[in-house]
C-alpha cells in the first residue's frame, strides 16, 4: 500500500506522524510524508534523513510552509498546499491520503481521504474561554476549511472518544468515524530508573489550553521545570511562572532526558485531546499527575493522580515528596498504563483502517 500522509512541525502531530509512518514502512507500506506550517527544524530534518537512509525509495518527504487552518493567515491553508500535494499524487500514485489537516479531506481526486482530528479550535475555546470566540473573518475561514474537509473525507479518526464527540458537537462528520489512541515507542530500561525529586511539564506554553498559569499559585516542595516555547504568532507566555523554572524549547532527546531525570510529570492542561507528553514522561518513569478533565481520565483511568486546582496540586506534590512508597506506586501505575499505548498497536489499527477504506478503490483499479 502507498500512503500519502500530512503533518505539521509545531507540536505533537509531528511525533504522531513520525511514529506512524515508521511503523507503516516496517509493515511494507510506502510512505510520502508532507509537512505543512512552519519549516522543519534541523532535528526533524535529521529524522527525515535517517528514514531515507533506511527505507530508500519507499519513503519520500516534502515540506511546505502553507499555513495551518488555526493560524491567523489561514486563507492559504488549502490553496498553498494543494499544488505540492497534487504533484506528489501524480508522482507517488498513493492509494490513500491520511491527513492531519482537516481541510485536505477536500483535496480533489479519486483517492480515498482519511482525516485525523488531533484537536480543533472550537472545542479548544470551549475548554479554555468563558465565552465563545468572537466572530471574525479568520474564524469564518477556519470553520469553512474544517467543515469542507470533514464533509468530503471518507472517514475521520480521533485519538479519544472525547475528541471525536467534541468534534461532532460542532461539525458534520462523515459516516465512518473511529477512535484510535496515539502510541509512542521510547527506548527505556527494563526497570524504572532512579531520578531527581523534581516535576516536569512540557508543551506549547503559549497555548492557553496548557493552562500553565495555574503553576503561579502552586506551593511545591520540589522543583518544577517547564519545557517549551513561550511565544507563537500573537500568543505569549510570561517569562516567570511562580516557582517553576522555564527551560525554553528543547529537542526531543533533551526533553526525554529531563523526563528520565524527573519523578513526576504534571499535566496542567484544561484542553488535551490525548496528550503525548505525559505518555512520553510515563514511559520515562514519571508518575503522571493530571488535571481532572474527561479526556485525561479516558486515557489514564486510575493510572494517574488527579487534581482540580492549584491547591489540590500543591497537596499532591507535598504527599508525593513526603511518601516514597506513594511515589513509587504512582510511577509504576503510570508506566504500566503508558506501555499499553505502543506505536505498533496504533499502526496496526491504522493499517487495518487504511486497507478497509482503500479496498473498494483498489478493487476498481484492478478490474479496470
Q: What are the sequence ranges of the domains in the chain?
A: 2-184+342-367, 196-338
pTM of the model: 0.92
- With H, G, I as helix, E, B as strand and everything else as coil, classify residue 177: strand
Q: What is the pLDDT of residue 203?
A: 77
Q: Give how far the C-alpha of residue 113 lies from the chain's centroid of Cα atoms, to the nearest Å.
A: 20
Enclosing H/E stretch for 155: strand 155-158
Q: What is the pLDDT of residue 56?
A: 97
Angle formed by the axes of helices 12-26 and 42-55, to 10°?
A: 10
Which pLDDT tens digits describe the chain residue by residue (368 residues)?
999 999 999 878 999 999 999 999 999 999 999 999 989 999 999 999 999 999 999 999 999 999 999 999 999 999 999 999 999 999 999 999 999 999 999 999 889 999 999 999 999 999 998 878 999 999 999 999 999 999 999 999 999 999 999 999 999 999 999 999 999 999 766 677 789 999 999 977 778 899 988 999 999 999 999 998 776 554 444 556 778 889 988 988 999 999 999 999 999 999 999 999 999 999 999 999 999 999 999 999 999 999 999 999 999 999 999 999 999 999 999 999 999 999 999 999 999 999 999 876 544 433 33
**Whether the Cβ atoms of residue 354 and residue 5 lie closer than 8 Å to each other:** no
Alpha-carbon distances of 22 from 18, 33, 138, 266, 356, rounded to whole Å: 6, 11, 35, 29, 20
Q: What is the pLDDT of residue 249?
A: 87
Phi, psi of 231 (to 5 degrees): -150, 155
User: Does the CA dihedral 9-11-15-21 come out positive or negative?
Assistant: negative
Q: For domain 2-184+342-367, say whether CATH 3.20.20.10 is its number.
A: no
- With H, G, I as helix, E, B as strand and everything else as coil, classify residue 60: strand
Q: What is the pLDDT of residue 228?
A: 86
CATH topology of 2-184+342-367 equal to that of 196-338?
Answer: yes
Q: What is the pLDDT of residue 366?
A: 36
Q: Using CA atoms, how far apart are residues 312 and 86, in angstroms rounded to an integer?
A: 52
For residue 118, what are the contacts with CB-CB under 8 A and spacing of at least 6?
A: 12, 13, 16, 100, 159, 163, 273, 274
- Burial class of 290 by CB neighbour count within 10 A (0 to 12, 13 to 18, 19+): buried
Q: For domain 196-338, say whether CATH 3.40.50.2000 is its number.
A: yes
Q: What is the pLDDT of residue 360?
A: 60
Q: What is the pLDDT of residue 190?
A: 67
Q: Using CA atoms, how far apart are residues 288 and 302, in angstroms rounded to an integer?
A: 10
Q: What is the pLDDT of residue 364?
A: 44
**Whether the Cβ atoms of residue 224 and residue 266 lie closer than 8 Å to each other:** yes
Q: Which grid cell sits at 234? A: 500573537
Sheet containing 176-179: which strands, arranged edge to edge?
Answer: 59-63, 30-36, 2-8, 96-99, 113-116, 155-158, 176-179
Look up residue 35 and give its DSSP letter: E
Q: Give how far the C-alpha of residue 167 lies from the chain's centroid of Cα atoms, to the nearest Å.
A: 16
Q: What is the pLDDT of residue 97?
A: 98
Q: Give how far the C-alpha of residue 230 lies from the chain's centroid of Cα atoms, to the nearest Å.
A: 18
**Whether the Cβ atoms of residue 268 and residue 309 lie closer than 8 Å to each other:** no
Look up residue 132 and give its DSSP letter: P
Q: What is the pLDDT of residue 168?
A: 98
**Whether the Cβ atoms of residue 196 and residue 261 lie closer than 8 Å to each other:** yes
Amino acid at each position: 500500500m502507498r500512503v500519502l500522509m500530512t503533518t505539521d512541525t509545531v507540536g505533537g502531530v509531528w511525533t504522531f506522524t513520525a511514529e506512524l509512518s515508521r511503523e507503516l514502512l516496517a509493515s511494507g507500506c510506502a510512505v510520502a510524508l508532507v509537512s505543512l506550517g512552519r519549516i522543519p527544524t534541523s532535528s526533524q530534518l535529521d529524522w527525515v534523513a535517517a528514514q531515507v537512509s533506511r527505507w530508500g525509495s519507499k519513503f519520500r518527504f516534502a515540506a511546505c510552509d502553507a499555513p495551518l487552518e488555526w493560524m491567523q493567515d489561514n486563507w492559504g491553508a488549502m490553496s498553498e498546499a494543494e499544488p505540492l500535494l497534487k504533484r506528489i499524487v501524480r508522482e507517488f500514485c498513493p492509494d490513500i491520503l491520511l491527513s492531519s489537516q482537516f481541510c485536505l479531506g477536500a483535496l480533489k481526486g479519486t483517492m480515498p481521504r482519511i482525516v485525523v482530528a488531533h484537536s480543533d479550535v472550537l472545542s479548544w475555546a470551549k475548554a479554555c474561554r468563558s465565552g465563545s470566540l468572537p466572530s471574525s473573518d479568520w474564524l469564518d475561514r477556519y470553520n469553512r476549511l474544517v467543515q469542507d474537509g470533514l464533509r468530503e473525507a471518507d472517514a475521520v479518526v480521533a485519538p479519544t472518544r472525547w475528541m471525536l464527540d467534541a468534534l461532532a458537537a460542532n461539525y458534520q462528520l462523515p459516516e465512518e468515524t473511529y477512535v484510535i489512541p496515539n502510541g509512542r515507542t521510547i527506548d527505556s530500561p527494563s526497570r524504572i530508573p532512579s531520578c531527581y525529586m523534581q516535576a516536569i511539564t512540557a508543551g506549547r506554553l503559549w497555548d492557553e489550553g496548557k493552562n500553565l498559569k495555574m503553576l503561579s499559585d502552586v506551593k511545591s516542595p520540589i522543583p518544577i521545570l517547564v519545557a517549551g516555547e513561550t511565544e507563537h504568532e500573537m500568543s505569549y507566555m510570561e517569562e516567570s511562572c511562580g516557582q517553576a523554572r522555564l527551560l525554553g524549547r528543547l529537542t526531543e532527546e533533551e526533553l526525554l532526558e529531563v523526563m528520565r531525570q524527573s519523578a513526576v510529570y504534571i499535566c496542567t492542561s484544561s484542553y488535551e485531546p490525548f496528550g503525548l507528553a505525559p505518555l512520553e514522561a510515563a514511559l520515562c518513569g514519571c508518575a503522571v499527575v493530571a488535571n481532572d478533565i474527561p479526556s485525561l481520565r479516558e486515557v489514564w483511568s486510575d493510572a494517574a493522580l488527579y487534581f482540580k486546582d492549584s491547591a489540590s496540586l500543591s497537596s499532591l506534590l507535598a504527599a508525593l515528596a513526603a511518601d516514597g512508597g506513594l511515589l513509587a506506586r504512582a510511577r509504576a501505575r503510570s508506566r504500566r498504563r503508558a506501555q499499553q499505548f505502543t506505536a505498533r498497536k496504533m499502526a496496526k489499527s491504522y493499517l487495518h483502517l487504511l486497507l478497509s477504506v482503500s479496498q473498494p478503490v483498489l478493487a476498481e483499479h484492478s478490474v479496470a
